[in-house]
Structure 1
């Protein structure tokens, strides 16, 4: 996960498929206990907004599609 700031003041964070499933706040955030953990569905649209802190997470490379 690319995170230049170690707290939850950064409003845009780019993540990779290796970071999935993604939740906010992430363990790397200094204020990791600032709100309840919420899992964010990035796979379908390639981005998700945390409903608690407003941080936008964007999946590097865009949405992923699962094949059956």
Structure 2
């Protein structure tokens, strides 16, 4: 599972983490903000508009997504 415990790190996510949202369920209290869903498949990465956590998709894309 993806984890964003350090907002300066790049968080690698895979198909199992989709649909991707920030913060992740295991995020520490200081990283909590309103949940926002991020489209990491469009360009291969996404940045959270609240906390600036950067997510990068790795691995095989789910079937049906280009």
Which residue does the alignment assign to 2:37? 39
Task: Give the number of the structure with larger relative contact order, counting CA–CA contacts within 8 Å between residues 6 or more apart.
Answer: 2
Please, what TM-score do these two structures have when normalized by structure 1?
0.73
Gaps of 5+ in 1: none
Q: Secondary structure at the match of 2:11?
A: strand
Q: What is the root-mean-square deviation of aligned Cα atoms in Å?
A: 2.6
**Which residue of 12, 15, 34 maps to 2:13?**
15
Gaps of 5+ in 2: none
Which residue does the alignment assign to 1:66? 64
| Deviation string, structure 1 residues 6-49 (Cα, Å, up to 9, x no partner) | 62534310011110001000001112762100000011111100
Please, what TM-score do these two structures have when normalized by structure 2?
0.75
**Which residue of 8, 22, 38 maps to 1:24?**
22
